[in-house]
Amino acid sequence: MNEKYMTIALEMAKIGYKKGEVPIGAVVVKDGQVLSAEHNRTEELSDPTAHAEVLAIKKAAEKLGDFRLNGAQLYVTLEPCPMCAGAAMNARIEEIIFGAFDPFKGALGSVTNIYTFNFPNKPQIYSGVKEKECITLLKDFFKEKRK
């Protein structure tokens, strides 16, 4: 199932890529149902908080009518930053499954691990799902940007 939902996250990232956004996609799933799928929209919305994860969490909460997403999984193509990891924790996300590690802003092991602190509602973390595809998409985007 992880690959199925990560494929959706990758499709969302590709949509963002075409719009000039850093290609990161996120999907929130609960009980096998996709609640939301988003891509980065920081450029489009001129909003530094419009990361794929935050937008997907907001949409899922709106759909359920509750900010508590107990039992939900967050699939994301890149390791979440501190803001997104905090949003997932506050939303009571049960599991975060990500593709590629982020050596610049990653908050789940690369730069820091926000969940080493004694916070309640810490999700389980799984990494490396479709990692190669996630990395390739990001590398292609930044290579194109540098041209």
Residues 119 and 141: their CA atoms lie apart, in Å, by: 35
Active site residue 11: no
Catalytic residue from among 11, 43, 44, 53: 53
Query: Phi, psi at residue 46, to the nearest 5°?
Result: 50, 45
Q: What's the Cα-to-Cα distance from 73 to each of 60, 89, 117, rounded to whole Å?
A: 11, 11, 21
Q: Point out the residues that are catalytic.
A: 53
